[in-house]
Structure formats: C-alpha cells, structure tokens
C-alpha cells in the first residue's frame, strides 16, 4: 500500500518539488487543518506554473518587474481555462485558493475542509498525469492514508502567517530557477510542443472526469464556503447536522443541515440544503418543522433559508412573508438586525408622518399609501408624482418612518447622476444630520460602509458590491446590508441595466417617478409587483395645478423659416448667397442645400439665434417690476450650439454683464458651481444655456422661462424638462405677488410631437451593450449552423463553439452578478451542453448569460464590425436580405482604400482582399465562410478609420420668426403622437430632402442616401424597433414613396412610350393614365393593385389588351421597375 495518496507523482522526476509540497500538505493534517490548506495552495501554485511553462504561457507579471502573476490571475486566465477544459475542476481549484488564503489570514479551517482540499488537489494532479505523463490515472483517493490529528494540532495565527510567507519565498525561488532552466535549454520549444500535443491527444480521446465523490462534496461545500464568506464560523456560530428534537417521525429526532446562532446562542436561522438537481421547495416543510421545534425550545422562531447549492431562498414566515429569492446568506450582524427588527418593529401605520418634512395633503396621502402597503405585507412601492411636487421630501419622510418604526436600520438612495446624488444628500442632511449618519459613496466610500443612509449612482454601487471588502476579504455590502432602497426616477431602463443591484440586496424598494402613470412601462409595474397602470400612489400634474401646488405654463409655439425649411440656396437673396459662398468656400451650384435637421447641429445661423434671443428678451417673463428677465433655461442642441448662443447674446446685448448668461455642460470647468449659483435667487447667471445638464433634478423655484431650442424625442425626459418651471415661488414679483405660471418657448416642435396621448418616448428604449448583443448573435449563428450540419462549415462551427465556450468559462466567478447566475454559468461552461443545444437553451442563455458579458480594453470599432458581420451571417441563415449591411461593409472597404492609409503596412497586407470586397462580384455569392473571412481580414483595420466630422459653419443670413397656432395654456395631458404620424408629418414637411426628392422623382438612392434616411427614421424620429412595429419588413424607400407619392412628371416619363400617338387606343391610354394617377398618389404599385376598383370602369387588363401580350408584359415590367427604383441601390 502506498504511504501517500500522491505517491504516483514520484514517477515523474520533473514533479519532485510539487510532490514534496503536496505530501507536506497531506502530512500537515497531523498538525492542523490550516497547515494542510496553506501547503495545498502552495502546491496548487507550483502545479499551475508547471502547466503554464509546458504550454508556453508566461507567468511573469507585466506590471511588477521580476515578479510572477498572482495565483488568482493564473487561475482565471483564458489560456489556463482553455488548457484544462474542465469548468468543474477550475471552480474547485479556485476554492483551494480561497481556503488557503483564509488559513493564511488566521481563519479556522475544519479537518473535513482540509481533506476536501486534498481531494481536489488529488484530482488536479491526476489531470496533470492524464495529460502530460504515463503515471497511473485510475487511482482513487484513500482516506485511510491520511494521518490522524495530533494532540498539539493547533498553530497560532503568527505561525501560520510565517509558514505562508516562507512558502511564498520558496515558490518565488523555485519559479525563477525553473524559468532560468527553460531559457537555458535550446530544445525547450520542442519539448513544449510535444507536451502540448500529448495533452491535446489525450483530451480528444476522452475528457478527464473529476471523481464523483469529490465533485458532490465540493458542491455541498459551496454552502459551507458561502456561509464562511458571509462571516459565519463553521462549527462555531454555524452548527452542522445538529439534532432537532420533537420531530414527527419514529425516532422523534431530525438533523438540521445547518443552524445559525446569534451571540446569545439562540438560533437565528435554519438552513435546509437539497441536492442541486432538486428544487429548494422540496425542503420547505422539513425546515418549517425544524423551526417549529426550535421555536418551542427557545421561544423565538428562527428564519429559514432553503438552498440547493445554487439558489437560495429566505423565508420569514413569522412575519407573514412568503419565501423570496436572495443572492446569498446574510451576515451574522445583518441576520441579528433582521431578527431584532421583526421582534421590535411597530406597525407602519401606528406612527404619523412628520408634517414638517412633507406636510401637503397629497404628500401625506402618498406616505400613508406606502405605510398601508407595508403593513399589508408588500415590500415594493411605486409613487408617481408630477415633477415639483416634492418626491424627495416624501422619500425623506418615509425614510424617517421606516427608521422610527424599526423597519429599517440602513437605507440606500440611488440616482443616475452625480449632481442628483449630491442634491438628494443635501436635502436629507437638513433633517437627518443630527439623527443618523449619512455618506456619499462617490466621495467617501470608507464612510459609506458604516453610514445609516448611503447615497450613490447606480454604477458606483455596482462596483462597490464587488470591490468594497474588509481585511478579512468579506464584502462590506452584504445582501442584507440595506433594508430600504430609494430609487430616484424609476423607469424601465434603470431596471434593465441595474437589475443586479436589486437582485443582490434583500431590501424593500421605494420607486419615485414623474412619468404619468399611463406612460410608465408595464415592466416597471412588474418590477414593483403591481398591476399595470396601478401604482402605490399617483398625483398628476393636472391635480397639482388645480390644487395650486404647481403653476401652469403658457406655450409660445414658435419656429423660424430656417428651422422649419432649412436653407435652399436657390431661394436665397443675392446677399445671403454671398454669405453662404464666403463661409463655405464654394461657389454657386456647388453649395448644397442645408436640411433643417442640420441647423444648430453643425450649421449655425446668426439671425436664427438672434430671433430666438430677441423673442425671449421681449416676451419672456420679467421680475423686479419688469426690468429684469426672470430665471431662464435655454435647452441647446449641443455644446457648439450653446457656445454660439452665449456668444451672440454678449454681442447683441453688451449692456448685460458677462455672467448674466452662462453655458452649462460637461465641457465647462466648474459647471457644478455654475449650477449651484443659478439655483440661488440673487445670484447670476440669469440665463443658463444647458446641454443635458439641467434637464432633470434641478430645483429653481424662480425659473419662469424655458426655451426649447432643440427637439426632444423622449416623452419622459420632455416632461421632466417642463417640470423645471412648475414649482411655486412666493413673492417672486414682490410682496404678495407669487409666481403664477411660466412660459415655454418651443422652437423644437416638441408639442406637435407629443399631441396624441399614450407615448412612452421613442428614445426611452435601453441600448443593449455591444458585448451582450454580439454574444447573442454568435450563439444564434452557432445554433443554426449546428442544426444545418453543413460539412463545409464544420471548422467554423467548432471555432465559434470554442469562442463562445471560452467567453462563458472566463466570466469572473468573484463577481456578484456572475454568482447570481451560478447555476447557468456552470451549466454552460460544460462543453457537452453546447453539443445538444436547443432553442430553449438559446433563450436561457440570452436571459441569464449574455447580460454578464463584458469586454475590457478591446477596440470598440472592431467589436462593432464583428457584430455587423455576425448579424449578416444570422440574416443569411434566416434567409433575410443583407444588402443594406453589405453596402456598409463595402463602404468600409472604400474608406480603407483611401490614399492616406496606403502607407500603413497592415493595410498593405490586406490590400488585395480590400479591393475584392469593394467589387459587386464579391457579393454575388455570399456564404458564411466568406463573411467570416471578411470579418477576420478587416476587423483589426477598423481602428485606423477615424470618424468623419462635419465642418462647423456659422453664417449670417436672413431668417424670420414664425408664430405657430397652438395651445396657449396648459393642456390636460401631453403625450407623443404615434410613430407613424411623426414619420408622415416629417416626410410631408421635408419633400425636398435629397433622398425624398430622389424617391419622388423615380431615382434610385445611393447607400449614403439610404443611411441618412435610416438615421432620421431610427434615431431622430424613433427607433428601428418602432419602424418594424409600424411598417414591418417594408423597405424604407417603398415606405417613403407610399407616404409622399411621386411627382406626376416622373411617372409620366416612366410610361412615356405608352403615351405616344397611335400606340394605344383611348381605353388603353385611359387605363395607363389611371396607372400613372395611382402611382403618383401612392408612390408604388403592386401587380395585384391592378384589381383596385379605380380600374373597374376601364375593364380588366387582359381584356383591354387582348391579343397584345407584349404590351401587357411591358406595362407590368414598367410597374415593377418604378417600384424597384424605390428599393434597389444605385
């Protein structure tokens, strides 16, 4: 019998140093389990470094000269995981690292944990033997070979720390020596190649299997480790397999898997664990019986956790709540706090809200609605209140109530902008500064971990969950750290993007939004477990104005000739033409027309800005007896636009001091200071020209003028911008003369956009990250190709499978987001899962895995190009048209052919292929192989292409103010008109747009024309999804034609040969004229449209042209030609 489980390693002299270390780990059981854990971690590091060297991988730390990479980095590298090709084994090895670290830091390790770590190491070294040597690999781990625990088995924390430090020094020395030997051996490269080939051959023959006992035990230990990482001491305040008396079985005794004890040695929670293959519900009744027994014994009912190693559910049945999924076990402190709250909290409705915080009747109603909902066992609350009605003050009052009644110890306030976080904290400090500690996580992260109320943006909190850790390595923000989370401006994009925060923290949610209840997305209601359209409380703008808590507005619906029509060079006066020629450096016919969408984007007209400013200075509301313009926000389109507005104002109104008007955007130094001064009644500026800085969250009661110098496409954002002016302001115009309204100057056509009730904002749709979209497309391509089983695509399918599998394997296992999806990550890290992929699996991957994908330090333009090519593959497999996307690739090749790039060696290498891609013949036979080749050849060149920037033009040409008919008092409600109506009006108003003009005149569009049209339709007027929902698969050109029709002269020209004298009889000519009428009106004609009733009086086409099949064919061909001209690219 062997003296050690690791004697098989003696057969490989090259492993002697590793074998010595792991045998010391095994022998260390006679001293202390911690010794075994430390030696195992050391042996693991030696083993992994040996594998790295055989595989030709670098172990040197690129950021620390002369040092090796940390074990964590070595374990989690793409290369190592791909070499091992066994996610289960990799996950187990990471546990060895963690337990070794814990032991080195003085944590107690059980003997059973130490034995399990030895088992894991046995499996790892068996894998090494299987892949790289002829040592036996059919061995079983033998517990009888393990030494018994010695009498003096405990070692001090100092001894363990010294042991760990000594091993680290030895490992460094061994590593350097081994690397020197590698460099010295001339035949090392050949040896590495042989070892790699041996490993690959063995892995192809048969996958290495971790022995079932070790794998099952590791999965059981997941729970132990999760408990330890939550701060519990296994065998200390966490008892395992403890007997529970008075059970309804023959023996009258049961054994609870885990019981968590408080400092008073009274049970806080029962944990019932089932196999991973079982639902957690299986153990629910058993856990309740254990809880019944402990309640009788200790006079207090413990909480219940149900788990299968992946999912964890928390049950507080004593409070009347049903079980709910949680992201992890609660820390001892948090669980004790929850128990204290349950035993001591008062009914929410038993305490009245403090009217000094929020005392308006509707505010008290909102607070009462939340109180009643909380007492009614609800944990999520959604308040819909118009902007300016005091949502933050209501949240302060509710926070106070949650604390006073004992429902919450710690509260988290989340907002999407730093300024809003700062502003909210300032308001909370007015009431809480003497009663509770507050901290801004962005500014004082060290204070935030102990503060009672924490303020943060969503991304900062996401990062802090993973990164904020104590010296013991435990997360400072545990799953039960917060009892209540306040979500400022709750809408669907927040929940889609930051859902992981709300899934991680087991907290009650209080959502605040100003979006009218009918326009709140149904998914938002679902997040709060509410019926669609039924928030916890709602107080709308109409009610607030009627009850005089907000002021109404007067709409001055304006535009200018240039803002509405753009610039048509031929229609300009000679003086204006001269100005255009001077500014653009062109002459006459060379000067293009300027679309109205380009005005204030990169084409600025001085008189347009002057007209708007003059209108504001003349018609804007004044204060101080009418001598001074009241506080005003001008919403500018972009930074250049804002700069120009300020410049023109100073030049036109030099009598005002420089600080009367200020630009406010991210490019301005100390913009936060400017905003703060703008909010002060007697401080300048009086006019703030804002670019996305004052749209939301800024409170300026003195504000009386809003100028929309841009178009807003998001309804919720538009409503929030209007809300800047709705607040009351007593004595604004003098003693007893309160603010009674404000004025809106709408130069962006916004109120026209939002006429029809029901819009949720075309731009409110959340943009899915590129990495997530790319992964989803790759999975779909792989799935369809695998089903087709095309031998010609076999290699590509294998390559794509490996790419996807590697991405899943390399997800950061320490991330709380990945841990939330542990079950799915483990499942799809197994190679065999991808060999039997079903449509259900694809949907599961999309829901649980794709969202975890991130890309760091890789060129975004290359990833976008990857997405384009993979999406073309998917379209090809689904028999969809790829012409538009193919044109995008061709245009990319054209740009890569620019003279300025030809001296670059990388471009020269791919020059021939670039030339082929530019040719139409390349796209005649499109295959998956050709698309993949294109992706590989061009992706690394994309970074060489710089985004083309439009030149900035500033012209001084004439313009005229246009007052539009419109509402001049506050309408009952505002919502956007339907997308179809927006598109229709836009196209009718822009018939001279170049692309629209071509379509009306039977000219084919260029790819540039089409891209511009798509940009307008999918970005300015809505989204691509809106288009598909409204028009389905109808090509863009055909849709435009159907709305604007065609110029009759262009249609007559197309059918001119049929109208020649003596060619057709009168009935036939009448029939052709009706075809012309129909196409001129409808833009296109399908052959079946010839059955339209307008042709009935003429008769059937076949009858009218009886015996003239050639004429019939030519007419039908001409009908098709006119239609195809709206679809095909020139």
Query: Following DSSP, what letter does each residue of 902-919 receive, concatenated?
Result: TTSHHHHHTHHHHHHHHS
Sign of the alpha-carbon dihedral angle for 914, 919, 922, 928: positive
CATH class of 230-344: alpha beta
pLDDT at 756: 37
Q: Which two tokens stand for residue 787?
A: 């089903």
Task: Specify whether the CB–CB gap between 774 and 869 falls below 8 A.
Answer: no
CA-to-CA separations, 117 to 22, 39, 140, 531, 676, in angstroms, rounded: 11, 10, 15, 50, 58
Q: How many CB atoms lie within 10 A of CB 204?
A: 8
Residue 704 has what DSSP assignment?
A: E
Low-confidence ranges of the chain (pLDDT < 50): 1, 151-157, 160, 181-182, 184-186, 756-765, 967-977
pLDDT at 969: 44
The domain spans of the chain are 7-215, 230-344, 348-537, 553-753, 770-944, 978-1044, 1048-1124
Task: Specify whether the CB–CB gap between 885 and 872 falls below 8 A.
Answer: yes
Q: Give the whole-angstrom CA distance, residue 548 versus residue 539.
A: 13
Which stretch of DSSP H or E encloses residue 88? helix 87-104
The full DSSP string for 1029-1080 is: HHHTT--HHHHHHHHH---HHHHHHHTGGGGSTTTS-HHHHHHHHHHHHHHH
Q: Identical fold at 230-344 and 348-537?
A: no
Task: Specify whether the CB–CB gap between 7 and 138 falls below 8 A.
Answer: no
Q: How many CB atoms lie within 10 A of CB 244?
A: 21
pLDDT at 187: 57
pLDDT at 975: 30
Residue holding tokens 């509402």?
967
Q: Give the whole-angstrom CA distance, residue 369 versus residue 353.
A: 12
pLDDT at 714: 78
Cis check: omega of the bond before 685, within 30 degrees of 0 = yes
Task: Specify whether the CB–CB gap between 569 and 992 falls below 8 A.
Answer: no
The full DSSP string for 633-697 is: EEE-SSHHHHHHHHHHHHHH-TTS-GGGEEEESTTSTTHHHHHHHHTSTTSS-SEEEESSSSSSS
Q: How many CB atoms lie within 10 A of CB 648?
A: 20
Phi, then psi, of 407 in degrees rounded to 5: -85, -20
Residue 232 has what DSSP assignment?
A: -
pLDDT at 973: 33
**CATH architecture of the domain formed by 553-753:** 3-Layer(aba) Sandwich (3.40)
Q: What's the burial of 982, exposed, middle or buried (CB within 10 Å: 0-12/13-18/19+)?
A: buried
Q: What is the 3-state secondary structure (H, E, C) of 814-870?
A: CCHHHHHCHHHHHHCCCHHHHHHCCHHHHHHHHHHCHHHCCCCCCCHHHHHHHHHHH
Task: Specify whether the CB–CB gap between 747 and 612 falls below 8 A.
Answer: yes
Q: What's the burial of 158, exposed, middle or buried (CB within 10 Å: 0-12/13-18/19+)?
A: exposed
Q: Give the whole-angstrom CA distance, residue 686 versus residue 649.
A: 12
Task: Specify whether the CB–CB gap between 943 and 859 falls below 8 A.
Answer: yes
Q: What's the burial of 974, exposed, middle or buried (CB within 10 Å: 0-12/13-18/19+)?
A: buried
pLDDT at 499: 80
Phi, then psi, of 68 in degrees rounded to 5: -85, 160
**1006 backbone φψ class: left, alpha, beta (φ>0; ψ -120 to 50):** beta
Sign of the alpha-carbon dihedral angle for 360, 362, 364, 366: negative
The full DSSP string for 273-289 is: E--TTS-GGGGHHHHHH
Q: Which two tokens stand for residue 1078?
A: 């129909």
pLDDT at 290: 94
**CATH architecture of the domain formed by 348-537:** 3-Layer(aba) Sandwich (3.40)
Task: Specify whether the CB–CB gap between 821 and 854 falls below 8 A.
Answer: no
pTM value is 0.63
């Amino acid at each position: 019998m062997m003296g050690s489980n690791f004697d098989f390693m003696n057969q490989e002299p090259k492993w002697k140093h590793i074998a010595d270390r792991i045998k010391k780990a095994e022998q260390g059981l006679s001293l202390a389990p911690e010794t075994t854990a430390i030696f195992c971690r050391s042996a693991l590091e030696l083993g992994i470094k040996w594998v790295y060297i055989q595989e030709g991988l670098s172990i040197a730390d690129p950021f620390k000269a002369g040092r090796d990479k940390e074990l964590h980095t070595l374990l989690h590298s793409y290369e190592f995981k791909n070499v091992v090709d066994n996610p289960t084994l990799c996950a187990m090895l990471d546990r060895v690292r963690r337990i070794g670290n814990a032991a080195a830091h003085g944590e107690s390790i059980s003997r059973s944990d130490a034995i399990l770590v030895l088992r894991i190491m046995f499996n790892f070294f068996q894998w090494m033997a299987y892949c790289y040597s002829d040592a036996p690999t059919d061995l079983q781990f033998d517990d009888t070979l393990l030494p018994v625990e010695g009498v003096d088995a405990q070692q001090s924390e100092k001894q363990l720390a010294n042991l760990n430090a000594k091993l680290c020094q030895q490992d460094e020395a061994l590593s350097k020596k081994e690397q020197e030997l590698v460099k010295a051996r001339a035949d090392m490269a050949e040896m590495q190649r042989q070892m790699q080939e041996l490993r690959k051959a063995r892995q192809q023959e048969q996958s290495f299997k971790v022995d079932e006992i070790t794998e099952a035990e590791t999965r059981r230990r997941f729970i132990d480790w999760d408990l330890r990482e939550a701060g519990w001491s296994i065998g200390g305040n966490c008892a395992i397999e403890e007997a529970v008396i008075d059970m309804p079985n023959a023996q009258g005794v049961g054994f609870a898997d885990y019981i968590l004890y408080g400092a008073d040695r009274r049970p806080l929670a029962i944990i019932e664990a089932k196999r991973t293959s079982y639902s957690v519900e299986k153990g629910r009744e058993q856990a309740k019986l254990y809880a019944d027994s402990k309640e009788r014994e200790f006079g207090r009912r413990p909480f219940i956790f149900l788990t299968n190693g992946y999912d964890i559910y928390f049950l507080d049945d004593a409070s009347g709540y049903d079980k709910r999924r949680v992201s992890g076990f609660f820390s001892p402190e948090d669980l004790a706090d929850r128990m204290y709250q349950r035993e001591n909290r008062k009914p929410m409705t038993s305490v009245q809200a403090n009217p000094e915080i929020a005392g308006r009747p509707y505010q008290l109603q909102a607070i009462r609605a939340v109180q009643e909902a909380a007492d009614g066992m609800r944990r999520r609350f959604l308040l819909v209140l118009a902007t300016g009605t005091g949502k933050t003050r209501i949240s302060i009052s509710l926070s106070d109530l949650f604390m006073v009644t004992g429902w919450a110890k710690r509260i988290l306030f989340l907002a999407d902008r730093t300024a809003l976080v700062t502003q909210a904290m300032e308001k909370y400090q007015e009431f809480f500064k003497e009663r509770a500690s507050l901290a801004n996580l962005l500014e004082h992260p060290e204070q935030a971990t102990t503060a009672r109320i924490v303020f943060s943006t969503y991304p900062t909190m996401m990062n802090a969950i993973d990164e904020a850790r104590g010296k013991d390595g435990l997360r400072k923000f545990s799953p039960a750290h917060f009892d209540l989370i306040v979500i400022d401006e709750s809408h669907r994009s927040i929940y889609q993007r930051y859902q992981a925060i709300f899934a991680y923290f087991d907290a009650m949610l209080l959502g605040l939004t100003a979006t009218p209840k009918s326009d709140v997305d149904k998914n938002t209601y679902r997040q709060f477990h509410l019926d669609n359209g039924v928030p916890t409380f709602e107080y709308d703008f109409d009610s607030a104005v009627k009850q005089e808590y907000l002021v109404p507005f007067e709409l001055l619906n304006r535009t200018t000739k240039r803002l509405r029509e753009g610039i048509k060079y031929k229609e300009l006066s000679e003086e204006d033409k001269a100005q255009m020629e001077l500014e653009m450096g062109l002459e006459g016919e060379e000067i293009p027309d300027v679309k109205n969408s380009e005005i204030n984007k990169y084409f600025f007209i001085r008189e347009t800005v002057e007209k708007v400013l003059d209108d504001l200075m003349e018609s804007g509301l004044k204060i101080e007896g009418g001598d001074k313009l009241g506080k005003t926000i001008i919403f500018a389109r972009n930074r250049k636009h804002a700069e120009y507005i300020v410049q023109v104002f100073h030049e036109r109104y030099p009598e005002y001091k420089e600080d009367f008007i200020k630009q406010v955007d991210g490019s301005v130094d100390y913009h936060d200071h400017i905003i703060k001064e703008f909010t002060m009644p007697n401080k300048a500026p009086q006019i703030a020209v804002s670019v996305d800085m004052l749209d939301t969250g800024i409170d300026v009661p003195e504000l009386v003028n809003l100028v929309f110098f841009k178009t807003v496409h998001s309804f919720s954002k538009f409503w929030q911008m209007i809300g800047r002016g709705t607040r009351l302001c007593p004595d604004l115009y003098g003693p007893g003369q309160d603010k009674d309204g404000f004025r809106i100057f709408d130069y962006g056509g916004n109120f026209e956009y939002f006429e029809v009730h029901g819009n949720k904002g075309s731009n409110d749709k959340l943009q899915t990250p590129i990495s997530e979209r790319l992964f989803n497309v790759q999975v779909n391509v792989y799935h369809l190709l695998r089903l087709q089983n095309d031998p010609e695509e076999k290699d590509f399918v294998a390559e794509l499978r490996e790419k996807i599998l590697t991405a899943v394997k390399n997800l950061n296992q320490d991330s709380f987001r990945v841990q939330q999806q542990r079950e799915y990550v483990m499942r799809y890290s197994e190679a065999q899962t991808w060999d039997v992929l079903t449509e259900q699996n694809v949907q599961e991957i999309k829901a649980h895995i794709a969202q975890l994908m991130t890309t760091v330090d890789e060129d975004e333009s290359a990833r976008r190009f990857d997405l384009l090519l993979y999406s073309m593959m998917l379209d090809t497999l689904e028999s969809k048209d790829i012409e538009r996307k193919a044109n995008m690739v061709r245009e990319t090749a054209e740009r890569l052919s620019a003279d300025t790039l030809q001296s670059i060696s990388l471009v020269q290498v791919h020059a021939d292929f670039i030339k082929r891609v530019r040719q139409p013949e390349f796209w005649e036979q499109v295959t998956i192989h050709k698309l993949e080749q294109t992706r590989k050849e061009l992706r690394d060149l994309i970074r060489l292409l710089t985004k083309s920037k439009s030149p900035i033009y500033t012209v001084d040409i004439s313009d005229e103010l246009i007052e539009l008919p419109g509402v001049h008092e506050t309408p009952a409600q505002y919502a956007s008109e339907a997308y179809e109506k927006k598109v229709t009006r836009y196209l009718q108003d822009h018939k001279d747009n170049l692309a629209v003009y071509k379509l009306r005149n039977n000219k084919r569009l260029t790819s540039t024309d089409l891209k511009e049209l798509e940009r307008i339709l999918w970005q300015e007027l809505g989204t691509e999804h809106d288009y598909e929902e409204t028009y389905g698969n109808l090509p863009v050109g055909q849709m435009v034609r159907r709305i604007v029709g065609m110029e009759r002269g262009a249609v007559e020209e197309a059918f001119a040969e049929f109208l020649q004298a003596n060619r057709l009889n009168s009935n036939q000519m009448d029939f052709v004229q009706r075809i012309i009428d129909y196409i001129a009106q409808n833009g296109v004609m399908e052959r079946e449209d010839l059955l339209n009733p307008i042709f009935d009086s003429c008769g059937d086409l076949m009858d009218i042209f009886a015996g003239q099949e050639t004429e019939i064919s030519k007419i039908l061909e001409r009908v098709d030609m006119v239609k195809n001209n709206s679809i095909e690219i020139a």
